[in-house]
Structure 1
């Protein structure tokens, strides 16, 4: 705990009896498992399965806890959103319809309103990502060239609907 004492130099207070004013600053560290439990109670099920492919986000990330198949508490770290606001990383694990239709290593980020898929994270697994003017494909790195994800461009963004995830990502 840190405390600071201060005196006022205002002219009208010089004739007053001397008083001391305490300025108190308290800092606390939050246990991420506790924070995850609290977050579970606050986050509504949004029901929107639309994800956005994003080359600017740090990792696959969402604020929607309801789509995770399981979660592991994550200790430390924040994400900075496009409006420069920040959200704590609370947990990490898989999201999807089932284990065979899941995306691994997705962060649960407090306050994040969108679901973002990091293009680099797919490439780092050795997958091939292809974009055209109206659609995209993410192709598995196996010799068969199975399509992991594909979707369409809507406006200036490429989106994915979880109801259409064909295999493990």
Structure 2
């Protein structure tokens, strides 16, 4: 187990996440850090005290790295949680590679271990606290309007059923929930329309004149 903490010394800091091998899911109590929160979550989490706490949602954490934004998916929202936790097992499931040794953990996003995302030194109490820099997309989430139109255009006027499939099967990172379009897309209507064939007899008569 790579994570341990005494409740008496807890200082809440929304930017610090503990790399935790004993945690089955990423967890936080800070709703403002997450995007695309699914509130239809019925899971319960067993705390260190043995109490079961109901999760109120599951969302995506967007962080900034030297390789650009990275999306940490399936972060559970747990009210009252003192620390932010990054699950080692869940990071591995989502394609990250973690190397522990020499009082440090190195996190890579490729199997060749060439793309080092970050290094996390071990502290005196044998914790691995990681300070994250959040991407601007988190702060701008509340101002985005008509996201369905936006994704429809970005994917070359892809139809709504296929857009919803991309979202439901999580085939695209950061793809928000697809709603309904209240009006007809003019580009799609124009592209699907056809032009009547020019009458050959009339064309011959015009050529004679």
TM over 0.5: yes
Q: 5+ unaligned residues in a row in structure 1: which ranges? A: 1-45
Q: Which runs of 4+ in 1 moved over 4 A?
A: none
Q: Is residue 94–residue 106 contact of structure 1 (8 Å, CA) maintained in 2?
A: yes
Write the deviation string for residues 16-51 of structure 1: whole angstroms up to 9, x where unpaired.
Answer: xxxxxxxxxxxxxxxxxxxxxxxxxxxxxx653110
Does residue 74 (structure 1) correspond to residue 43 (structure 2)? The answer is no
Q: Distance in 2 between matches of 1:164 and 1:106?
A: 14
Shift of 1:144: 6.9
TM-score (structure 2 length as normaliser):
0.51
Q: Distance in 1 between matches of 2:41 and 2:92?
A: 26
TM-score (structure 1 length as normaliser):
0.62
Partner in structure 1 of residue 53 of structure 2: 87
Q: How does 1:54-133 map to 2 (within 5 A)?
A: 54-97=20-63, 100-133=69-102
Shift of 1:143: 4.8
Q: Is residue 87–residue 112 contact of structure 1 (8 Å, CA) maintained in 2?
A: no
SS in 2 for 1:66: helix
More strand as a share of residues:
1
Relative to 1, partners in 2 of residues 1:107 and 1:154: Cα closer, same or farther, differing over 3 Å? same
Q: 5+ unaligned residues in a row in structure 2: which ranges? A: 1-11, 136-172, 174-209
Q: How does 1:15-34 map to 2 (within 5 A)?
A: none
Larger Rg, first or second structure (1 or 2): 2
Q: Distance in 2 between matches of 1:153 and 1:161?
A: 13
Does residue 160 (structure 1) correspond to residue 130 (structure 2)? The answer is yes
Write the deviation string for residues 115-165 of structure 1: whole angstroms up to 9, x where unpaired.
Answer: 000001111234321012322111112557312332221121011111289
Partner in structure 1 of residue 14 of structure 2: 48
Q: Is residue 131–residue 137 contact of structure 1 (8 Å, CA) maintained in 2?
A: yes
Q: Is residue 77–residue 89 contact of structure 1 (8 Å, CA) maintained in 2?
A: yes
Q: Distance in 2 between matches of 1:131 and 1:109?
A: 27
Q: Distance in 1 between matches of 2:97 and 2:41?
A: 31
More helix as a share of residues:
2
